[in-house]
Amino acid sequence: MDIFTFDYLFTFFTLSGLEIILGIDNVIFIAILVQSLPLIERNKARIIGLTLALVLRILMLLGVAWIIKLKDPLFSCFGFAFSGRNLLLILGGLFLIVKSLLELKDMFKNEDHKHVNTSSDNHYWKIIGQIVFIDLILSFDSIITAVGITESMPYRIPMIILVILIAMIVMLVSSKSIGNFIYKHQSIKVIALMFIGFIGVMLLLNGFEINMDKGYLYFAMIFSLVTEAINIKLKKEVK
């Protein structure tokens, strides 16, 4: 069968790895976002938010022709043609920048747990809405990339849906442990917030067609996390 050829399996595993790596942004953002909810509601919010995001990604995939049309210019301003994609990226980038700055501001005010023990339905669904919104922004280009990579492959839509499902399961399984680690160590939370802020800057620049290599950002984050993890380990050894 065509789906058991080397090229097909290689594309499938490559695409799966790519989606999981790109999902790191989402996992970190969700970990920061649900911290304002009570402990008993955090996992529920993760599950509902990621499930809705999964459905949204599949709908985006099925409507890929419409998504591609979002690249068509809507209007021009100061000689720059804005498309639906540009506006979404700019809006998402500004949202991440503002969100990371507000979280950092709260850390300086020692307000990290201000809302942890009190929550309302309005606040709860606001958090879930933010999870779904940012997943839409972060998955926009990855969906188009996945369609392009699998262009000559048979059953490419089922393949991409399976890849998205695998990435979402990995995100769901890892989000709780990553979140707990971030909550426990303030220095790690600062690095995570800076990472989210820089992702926002990159989305903002991409919205104006200024492309930056995301690999450098991932390398810087991993380097910072490893360095801080070593520092945390050394502090424990000293105690």
| pLDDT tens, residue by residue, 70-102 | 778 888 887 788 888 888 889 888 998 998 898
pLDDT of residue 2: 62
pLDDT of residue 120: 64
Tokens found for residue 120:
């309302």
- Whether 77 is in a domain gets the answer no
pLDDT of residue 110: 59
- Whether 114 is in a domain gets the answer yes
Helix ranges (H only) for the chain are: 6-33, 39-62, 64-69, 84-108, 121-149, 156-184, 186-207, 214-238
Give mean pLDDT, residues 8-32.
83
Contact 134, 22 (CB under 8 A): no
97-108 per-residue burial string, b: 16 or more CB within 10 A, e: under 16:
bebbeebeebee
Q: 29: how many CB neighbours lie within 10 A of its CB?
A: 25
Maximum pairwise Cα distance, the chain: 61
Ranking 6-15, 63-72, 98-107, 128-137 by mean pLDDT, the lowest is 63-72
Q: Does 122 have pLDDT greater than 60?
A: yes
Give mean pLDDT, residues 41-60.
85
Total structural domains within the chain: 1
**Taking all residues of the chain, what is their mean pLDDT, rounded to a whole number?**
81
- pLDDT-derived band at 112 (thresholds 50, 70, 90) equals very low
Q: Classify residue 155 as left (phi > 0), alpha (psi -120 to 50) or beta.
A: left
- Whether 10 is in a domain gets the answer yes
Ranking 124-128, 150-154, 189-193, 232-236 by mean pLDDT, the lowest is 150-154
Expressed as residue numbers, the domain containing 134 is 2-71+82-238
- Whether 76 is in a domain gets the answer no
- Whether 204 is in a domain gets the answer yes
